[in-house]
Amino acid sequence: MRNSSSLILVGGFGFVGRNILDAVARDPEFAHLAPMVVDNLSNPAPGHESLDLPAHLGDYDSAGALEFLEQAEPPAGGRVFVFLAGETRVAESKDRPLDFIDANIAEPARFVMQAVRPGDRFILVSTAGALFDGSFEVGVDSPYCPKNFYGATKAAEEMILEKLVALRGGTFRVVRLTNVYGRFSDNKKSAIHAFTRAAIAGDRVFINGDGGQSRDFIYAGDVGYGIATLARKLASGEETAPVNMLGAGRSTTLMDVVQAIEEATGRPLAYEKIPATDLLATEPRDVIANPKDVRVLLGDRVTPFLEGIRQTHDYYENNPA
């Protein structure tokens, strides 16, 4: 496409990547973004096989992936990377710390040094919750204070990749996500997804602690739109902030999640509360993003929580495992 920009999604067939691709395909404002995907299919969302776009199926730091990126003729608008790869299993980070260092710091750093060229734009998709301890409303300028090892690796990744992209002559941006839920989440085991599938199946779920811990839940379609918006702005040369936030700007407890799922499904959700003391000690009690910050990319396009739960329920109903 004339005057288009290559949008290179590293890990683009996963949960968040599929929602970015969906936003780009659906919304005319992203028509000048030409998506490409590098993905090793370790955690793909269903339906990626039917997508008609250039893709390399393999590890992003392999010789084949780097050759794929080199051979792809960059259009006039240049290249925008969206980096979605890495370890995200927070609870496992204390047991496999060196794996997390490799996946979230060392391997992304090598990729930047090998793949990024002068003039490239590089968006790192990071976390809004794990970078902080849950004791305050988080904003784009909040100081790092991670409560677990996963959060420490993501903080280090942000700082290291920022400097390496600059060394390579590129432009670096971060998008920090709160708790994402919604379509293309078939492989997700987080609370909303597990609880919704259980409600449909009539199964019992376990709630860690008293259920009063809260998160800022953002619908996946909003995340796809927000990241595509940042990519469009970068490709067009518009001014963008170094750090960006995507969330709903409101906090919802696990018991509120249960109530919303029951309303969406029209049936009660069987649950049992368990202490989970060790797990809860490594997690923030509450997460909420600054409402002003999340609207920089989304404006007023924040899906209401109950509507997002209904759409998630409908997705699982129409796409049974």
Tens of pLDDT, residues 192-244: 999 999 999 999 999 999 999 999 999 999 999 999 999 999 999 999 999 99
Instruction: Report the C-alpha gap between 228 and 30 in whole angstroms.
Output: 7
Global pTM value? 0.95
Same domain, 238 and 261: no
DSSP code at position 119: T
297 lies in some domain:
no
Residue 281: its H or E element: helix 277-281
Same domain, 192 and 68: no
Same domain, 127 and 263: no
118 lies in some domain:
yes
Same domain, 92 and 212: no
74 lies in some domain:
yes
Quote the tokens at residue 107: 């391997």
CATH of the domain at 282: 3.90.25.10
Contact 243, 230 (CB under 8 A): no
Across the strands, what pairs with 174? 124, 243
Same domain, 312 and 225: no
Same domain, 95 and 59: yes
Same domain, 208 and 86: no
Instruction: Report the C-alpha gap between 175 and 245 in whole angstroms.
Output: 6
Instruction: Report the C-alpha gap between 198 and 202 in whole angstroms.
Output: 6
∠ CA 124-308-258, nearest 5°, is: 110
Mean pLDDT, the chain, integer: 93
Same domain, 22 and 154: yes
68 lies in some domain:
yes
148 lies in some domain:
yes
Residue 107 domain boundaries: 5-180+220-246
27 lies in some domain:
yes
Same domain, 56 and 143: yes
**Tens-digit pLDDT profile for residues 243-263:** 999 999 999 999 999 999 999
Instruction: Report the C-alpha gap between 99 and 194 in whole angstroms.
Output: 26
163 lies in some domain:
yes
Model confidence at 73, pLDDT cuts 50, 70, 90, reads low
- pLDDT of 22 strictly over 70: yes
The per-residue b/e assignment along 81-95, b for 16 or more CB within 10 angstroms, e otherwise, is: bbbbbbbbebeebee
Same domain, 135 and 224: yes
Number of domains in the chain: 2
Instruction: Report the C-alpha gap between 118 and 300 in whole angstroms.
Output: 35
So what's the pLDDT on residue 1? Answer: 44
176 lies in some domain:
yes
Same domain, 117 and 237: yes
